[in-house]
Amino acid sequence: MTIATTNPATGETLKTFQPHSDQHLEQALDRAAKAFQTWRRTTFAERAARMQKAAALLEERKDSLARLITLEMGKLRKQGVAEIEKCANGCRYYAENAERHLADEVIATDAKRSLVKHQPVGAVLAVMPWNFPFWQVFRFAAPALMAGDVGLLKHASSVPQCALAIEEIFKNAGFPQGVFQTLLIGSDKVQKLIEDPRIVAATLTGSDGAGRSLGRAAGGQIKKTVLELGGSDPFVVLPSAKLEQAVKVAVAARIQNAGQSCIAAKRFIVHQQIAEEFEKRFVDAFKALKVGDPQDDATDVGPLASRQVLDDVDDQVRRSASKGARTACGGKRLEDRPGFFYAPTVLLNAENTAAFQEEVFGPVAAVTRAKDLDHAIALANDTQFGLGAAAFTNDSKEQERLADELEAGSVFINGMVKSDPRLPFGGIKASGYGRELSQVGIREFTNTKTVWIG
């Protein structure tokens, strides 16, 4: 297997890495197990001081780290800076709130005293994707380390320098040896790690296929998992919406990270009463997007992360067109430049096509029309996924129905779906289970222990 940095803007492989040996993995597991025995006994104040230092280091290094993200997976430089800043905010949130989130809960029972404790469990394996190479890791690591757990990171093989930089951040912030380690390994080593008794739990962000595989392995060992998998998020627009705002947010929600986001809006469901005007404005906005160098802050859409991602997106668009979707703009690779670029694409009448039924990881929007609110909700829920959902309406009754009836882990009304350290994040159906972030997320990898004193 290959662990390498390949620049998506040029297609050039810049640096390759030798995978860690079985001996290295054995040493890492041993370090993690030993570190946990000490780390679990540190105070929240001691952990928080280090986590605050990690936040400060992220902000000090945000420009160089953003360049690294751009180099390895093609994210726009300005979006990379925002990602690093979000990681710093996440670190600070848990440094300031972990003790409160995990405080003992006294419960009145027939006992003299009874309470619930939330205690760390051990070494957690994190299998992480390339699309948000820092944020995906920190949204696991910040709460887990603040809870007293230790982490082992198996990152995507295409972002090894990001993975090593994250380990360096924690090391430089003063976290003891073994509390957070990066493993440069392929997916073929994951099951062996899951089977090792020193790993007590695992979390994965990635495709539903990868989630099923890790879930099976962990289930066989009776080990806790949190899975954040794919999404095909609906974006519903109803007549009472402010159309200009809805279009602006719709474009941003689809092209963020060149469309390579689990919670990017992908299926646009528009009430027939306003569909024609929405489609016109939406297509015009897509045509105006600037595709180009991700280091240039004037660029709106950069390259896709790899040739495989580019091939997959092109295949999905072609299959959708063959089933009746109309290509209003884009619909092709950009062959006039090196790298893995795809034209921003809007597909109309896209219901019952690949673009509407599958997760498309690229700047491709699938649009269909709804007859009424009932039809819009039915279309939105007609998917195997259930990660996020957005809807634009200023009708309070419609807002209530959408909040109640959209089948997703998050529903955003009149706004773009996003993750926030203060709010639980995760999905249902094939989008996974468990939650990250907030009080809910930090408790996922703790032992909820009942204590009864008579």
User: Residue 440 CA to chain centroid, in angstroms?
Assistant: 17
Measured CA distances, 199 to 118, 140, 152, 445 (Å): 19, 15, 9, 12
What CA–CA distance (Å, rounded) separates 95 from 6?
35
Longest CA–CA span in the chain (Å) reads: 76
Catalytic residue among 87, 262, 279, 359: 262
Q: Structure tokens of 399? A: 């807002």
Instruction: Measure the CA–CA gap between 118 and 427, rounded to whole angstroms.
Output: 23
Between β-strands 233-237 and 265-271, what pairing exists: parallel, antiparallel or unpaired? parallel
- Choice among 72, 228, 407, 444 that is catalytic: 228
| Phi (first) and psi of residue 329, to 5 degrees | -165, 155
Query: How far lies 328's CA from each of 141, 247, 281, 283, 304, in Å?
Result: 42, 16, 12, 7, 21
Tell me if residue 83 is catalytic.
no
Q: Which two tokens stand for residue 227?
A: 């899975």
User: Tokens 């991602």 correspond to what residue?
Assistant: 309
Angle at which helices 160-172 and 62-73 cross, to 10°: 160
| Count of positions (residues) in the chain | 454
Nearest to 55 by CA among 81, 83, 88, 86: 88
Rounded to whole angstroms, how far apart are CA atoms 164 and 153?
10
Q: Is 228 a catalytic residue?
A: yes
Q: Which residues are known catalytic residues? A: 228, 262
